Amino acid sequence: MNPSEMDYRAIRAAFGAADAVRDAGLVPPEDVVPFPDIPYGPHGRWNLLDVYRPRAAGDRLLPCIVSVHGGGWVYGDKDLYRYYCMDLARRGFAVVNFSYRLAPEDPFPAAVKDVNAAFTWVAENAGAYHMDRERLFVVGDSAGGQLACQYLAMLTDPAYGALYGYPLPDLRVRAAALNCGQYQFEAPEDPAASTGVMAAYFGDRLRECLPLVDALAHIGPAFPPTFVQTARYDFLKDQAALLAERLRRQSVSFRYKCYGQEGQEHMGHVFHLNIRLPEAQACNQEECDFFLENS
């Protein structure tokens, strides 16, 4: 079954089991300094973030990556992304890794508000953690890819950002890596027929929310250069092609990469989070190189 059709409880159980296997035996690397559990908003454990820096950098000003985690808008938190984000930090970056509120307990637009709050924290606190606001990058995967794409459209299309009715920080994102994301939504003929994570995230409001989540329609020439990533066995592979086409039509610089070959079934959705895979290491390095090329 396509995960987007699964009940949110089944998603939490299945993804939790898979992530436990993926990260079994991993330990935080000694060459990364963590600054854990920093509050960025009023919602307790769901509004905490970590900052990771390479130990050898000392207090040197570093380019900054903000990671928006995935999980179908119903699963995940920063702790499940700590090894991936620490691995990015080892490549010479300060990395911000944050949790956000999940549906159905906190449906749309709670996650979007939390993404904005996290970026506002970065805008206000970058100096305290020696993060270079002028070299700011974003990674997001799966639902986090959608949220990151949407938020970048909000930052670069003032009319779209104004639809949400709250202030956005004065930030310029230099480049993004959007990994295995969902970028387009279709409303069902019968709003009551919405199932799985769509029902959890939007309830019966998908049709009325479409103008707010249709980030593709609001990607314009000011959107940052983007590394569009998918994989041979990614169930959202077609979504990456839609994003790449929109970027092309808007003359936004981008790089499209589909990793994996026929028969490599481990090269599926969000493979890049499994930092034991050589393909994940190659992908993550290519994305970091893309960031530096656009800094």
Spatial separation of the C-alpha atoms in residues 73 and 93, rounded to whole Å: 26
Instruction: Name the one residue in this structure whose structure tokens are 């479409």.
Output: 210
pLDDT of residue 207: 84
pLDDT of residue 211: 86
pLDDT of residue 191: 55
Residue 41 CA, chain-centre distance (Å), reads 19
pLDDT of residue 96: 99
Rounded to a whole number, what is the largest CA-CA distance in the chain?
56
**66 pairs with which residues across the strands?**
96, 138
Domain with 245, as residue range(s), is 3-293
pLDDT of residue 125: 98
**Helical ranges in 99-235 per DSSP H:** 110-125, 143-156, 158-162, 196-202, 206-213
Under 8 Å between Cβ of 34 and 86: yes
**37 pairs with which residues across the strands?**
none
Under 8 Å between Cβ of 237 and 142: no
pLDDT of residue 1: 53
Tens of pLDDT along 158-173? 999 999 999 999 999 9
Give the three-state DSSP class for 160: helix
What is the 8-class DSSP label of residue 32?
Answer: E
Q: How many domains does the chain have?
A: 1
Query: In the numeric block, which tokens belong to residue 24?
Result: 């079994």
Q: How many other C-beta atoms are found inside a 10 Å radius of the C-beta of residue 222? A: 14
pLDDT of residue 204: 84
**pTM higher than 0.85, yes or no?**
yes
Spatial separation of the C-alpha atoms in residues 168 and 148, rounded to whole Å: 14
Which residue numbers in the chain have pLDDT < 70?
1, 4, 187-195
Q: Is the Cα dihedral 18, 72, 85, 30 positive or negative?
A: negative
pLDDT of residue 195: 64
Q: Residue 59 is part of a domain; what is its CATH number?
A: 3.40.50.1820
Instruction: Please give the mean pLDDT across all residues of the chain.
Output: 95
In degrees, to the nearest 5, what angle opens at C-alpha 147 toward C-alphas 142 and 149?
95
